[in-house]
Chains A and B, each alone.
Chain A
Amino acid sequence: MKTLKDAKVGDTVIVKRLHGEGVLKRRFMDMGITKGVQLTIRKVAPLGDPMEVNLRNYELSLRRADCEMIEVE
């Protein structure tokens, strides 16, 4: 299973499924990370975490550990 955590800077991926439940999952979805949406990895913070992702025409910053919940292809 490939997750967003494995994606590299510059990659564009499509969300296949969100794992987990509760607050974090809902927050992801509220911010527009839903099935089928396209994510572009823009950059990683200087200390290696979090990372910046572009989706639905805006910039979102996510922690790598949390990205494990997002299955992509």
Chain B
Amino acid sequence: MDIKIALAGNPNSGKTTMFNDLTGSTQRVGNWPGVTVEKKEGRLKHDKNVIIQDLPGIYSLSPYTLEEVIARDYLLNETPDVILNIVDGSNIERNLYLTTQLLEIGCPVVVALNMIDVVRKNGDVIDVEKLSIELGCPVVVTSARQGEGTREAAEMAILQAKAHQQAGHPHVFEGPVEHAVAHIEEGIKNHVPASHLRWYSIKLFERDEKVIQQLALGHEVMAGIEDAVTTCENEMDDDAESIITNERYAYISKLMDVSVKKAPRKGNLTISDKIDRVVTNRWLALPIFAAVMVVIYFIAITTIGAIVTDFTNDTLFGEWIIAPMHGWMETIGAPLWLDGLLVDGIIGGVGAVLGFVPQMLVLFLMLAILEEVGYMARVAFIMDRIFRKFGLSGKSFIPMLIGSGCSVPGIMASRTIENERDRRMTVMTTSFIPCGAKMPIVGLIAGALFGGAWWVAPSAYFIGVAAVIVSGIILKKTKPFAGEPAPFVMELPAYHAPQVGGVLRSMWERGWSFIKRAGTVILLASIVIWFLSSYGVADGNFGMVEDMDTSILAAIGGAIAPIFAPLGFGNWQATVATVMGLVAKEEVVGVFGVLYGVSGDAMTMVEEGAFSGLAPIGAHFTMLSAYSFLLFNLLCAPCFAAMGAIRREMNSAKWTAFAIAYLCVFAYAIALIVYQLGMLFTGHGFTVATAIALVVLAFLLFMLLRPTPGRNKSKLAAARTRAAGSP
């Protein structure tokens, strides 16, 4: 029989390092079902019969955050054989708060007193034996970073699991509370498993909504419980939830007095404090932040990132694989369709997936370092003020910045945001920021119709940023994002030197999860588009076609083109170009060149600024319709690779569909408003379409300016409690 160890602990307690140290290369990374929270599982290095389940980093087992609910449900429903609780010894007081809750679950518990090296360095002394006796569970001293004690901790956990040695119940609560809890235990003992009796009783005392819902106890039992709780509340003059939390911390304070001797701090400043004095300094914080971002952008996007991406796309796939494959297929006399499917469809598709990976690895490496070091938390601290207005996290800055190079790693970078709602919002809006591949489209439009005007490119960025802000404000008032905003009560962890192993592992995990989860979507989509664009009816026969004009895609484009007529570009060429843009945004330029009969390579002309050659394209547009086309292509659904990344991060088909639909609808609305109002102001008269555009604009403004639904109510409630609280 396998033994299951659940790894539980606070964020920043060294839990991940411990998990890596215990499991080595046996890890499996996935998601908890239906949510965007990462799930990691592995087997013990020295004993493959032991499964180690990493739980999300949590501060408490309250019913309020997603991570806490996941951990609770796992601990109660999946019944691990033992809980290994990682406690940061250098921040022991707050870390033990979770321990007091874990001990109530009715499962064997082993405490790993981690970061003991830091404790020693600070000169503090922790009486481990005393702590163990008081808590009623074994305590093992560890330093996961240095590999000290981790094996012993795991072995102790196995020992406890085999012995079914339930953790004792330390005397956390005072008489009146214990009295009420005993009362509740009596009332519900036939409704819950005996081992979890204490846990459920304490949760019922706290009036934990999730537990009340789950147990669905009868009226009589609930009335009895309410009675016991109210009596206790009156006696202690506080609400039940506060009583429990206060007593836990009071108990820990007492425990600290007897088991921890703190060395006097020299000058009251730790190394972290000294670093923070500079890094989050009132005047220096923003310049330092800007400098860090410039370095990341420079390395991940401009220099190393661009070099590796160009190498994989152009050299590795273009020259070394695709070209020889074509030649080889020709020599063995393979039919043209097979050559096309294999080389252009499949290998081209795989290339589209893998082309991004090297750049992503470079970026993830740097993000992992920032996280490990502890700077990410400071980023949130510095940028929160700006981003929270748009329903985003301070950490959303990084995905957006990276997104200006490429949306794919940008979207993947949202993983560092701890709140699910902020994370989803960031995933949804990151692709508004024009990525590198959209720049050729901008160049094309600017060159072909605006004579290469300087302001077109900056306007693209401006519109991207505005779209993020407007969407943030609109979306945070909608139902999927509604409700109380997540509280921003965030720990600023002490700085640590990054660890090579941990950083590399985190980099690889993210890269691999992109290949695995996003890759399939991209590959399939690439093959479908390849098929649609290279097959069609020519000379009365269905088959592969030479010109895209006669392809299925052109036919489809012709059929759906009228949809874009109100935006000013209801012709099949523009429609086909937009669809091809889903493969890769820069395709739009090449496709335009081919479809409008530009002699030569349109992309090269854009790059070299040879705008006169682009005249055949310009002839089909007005300035207004071209700008509207540009707007739509900048804002609508991103390329398949980015959609794959959205799918990966949302971990839900529904949310992915919602995100992509939102992007398309938003893009359509903006292009419609700009084109129709532009037509009106340039003297083309007031039409039905103008009226519709005005209605859409009014709706957009309404969504933007309306008060948050339900906000007034909570404000009132807050005012009332305040009034009640003041003497």
Residues of A within 8 A of B (CB): 1, 17-32, 34-35, 37, 43-50, 52, 56-63, 66, 71
Contacts and interface: CB of A to CB of B under 8 A. Distances in A.
A63 B97 contact: no
Contacts of B377: 61
Interface stretch (B39-47, B56-64, B344-352): B56-64
B381 A24 contact: no
Given A32-B249, A46-B283, A61-B488, 10 more contacts: A1-B726, A17-B725, A21-B721, A23-B487, A28-B487, A34-B242, A52-B492, A57-B93, A58-B91, A60-B492
A9 B494 CA distance: 20
13 contacts: A23-B484, A24-B489, A25-B242, A28-B489, A30-B245, A31-B94, A45-B280, A45-B285, A46-B282, A50-B384, A50-B488, A52-B381, A58-B491
Interface in B49-92: 59-60, 62, 64, 91
A45 B93 contact: no
Nearest to A44: B282
Contact of A34 (B249, B282, B488, B718): B249
Interface of B: 59-60, 62, 64, 91, 93-94, 97, 239, 241-242, 245-246, 249-250, 272, 276, 280-283, 285-286, 377, 380-382, 384-386, 388, 484, 486-494, 717-718, 721-722, 725-726
B651 to A, nearest CB: 23
Contacts of A48: 385
Contacts of A19: 718, 721-722, 725
B94 A29 contact: no
Contacts of B384: 45, 49-50, 63
B492 A24 contact: no
Given A45-B385, A60-B489, A60-B490, A30 B97 contact: yes
Contacts of B494: 59
A32 B491 CA distance: 11
B91 A22 contact: no
A43 B285 CA distance: 12
B491 A59 contact: yes
B59 A46 contact: no
Contacts of A26: 60, 62, 64, 241, 245
Contacts of A60: 489-492
Contact of A43 (B93, B280, B721): B280
B79 to A, nearest CB: 25
A19 B720 CA distance: 10
Contact of B382 (A22, A24, A47): A47
A46 to B, nearest CB: 4
Contacts of B493: 59
Contacts of B91: 56-58
Question: Most B CB atoms within 10 A — which of A19, A37, A46, A50?
Answer: A46
Contacts of B380: 61
A48 B383 CA distance: 11
A34 B245 contact: yes
Contacts of A31: 59, 94, 489, 491
A35 B246 CA distance: 7
B246 A66 contact: no
Question: Most B CB atoms within 10 A — which of A32, A44, A45, A62?
Answer: A45
A36 to B, nearest CB: 8
A50 to B, nearest CB: 6
Question: Most B CB atoms within 10 A — which of A17, A20, A30, A52?
Answer: A30
Which 8 A-B residue pairs are closest in the complex by CB-CB distance?
Answer: A30-B60, A47-B385, A29-B245, A59-B492, A56-B93, A46-B285, A24-B487, A27-B487
A1 B246 CA distance: 22
B241 A29 contact: yes
Nearest to A48: B385
A23 B385 contact: no
Contacts of B386: 47
Given A32-B93, A60-B492, A71-B725, A49 B385 contact: yes
Nearest to A17: B725
A8 B280 CA distance: 17
A45 B378 CA distance: 9
Nearest to A23: B64
A62 B282 contact: no
B94 A56 contact: yes
Contact of B94 (A17, A20, A32, A49): A32
A30 B285 CA distance: 29
A65 to B, nearest CB: 10
A22 B245 contact: no
A62 B488 contact: yes
Contacts of B283: 46
A66 B59 CA distance: 19
Contacts of B281: 46
A5 to B, nearest CB: 12
A45 B322 CA distance: 52
Contacts of A57: 91, 93
A58 B381 CA distance: 15
A35 B718 CA distance: 19
A27 B249 contact: no
A45 B285 CA distance: 8
A64 B491 CA distance: 15
A58 to B, nearest CB: 5
A18 B565 CA distance: 59
Contacts of B722: 19
Contacts of A47: 382, 385-386
B62 A30 contact: yes
A49 B488 CA distance: 11
Contacts of B245: 26, 29-30, 34
A44 B385 CA distance: 11
B242 A18 contact: yes
Contacts of A32: 93-94, 97, 249
Nearest to B93: A56
B18 to A, nearest CB: 19
Contacts of B491: 31, 58-61
Contacts of B718: 19-20
Given A20-B721, A45-B382, A58-B94, A52 B487 contact: no
Contacts of B249: 32, 34, 37
Nearest to B489: A27
A62 B385 contact: no
A63 B489 CA distance: 7
Contacts of B381: 45, 50, 52, 61
Contacts of B276: 43, 52, 59
Nearest to B60: A30
Nearest to A24: B487
A24 B283 CA distance: 30
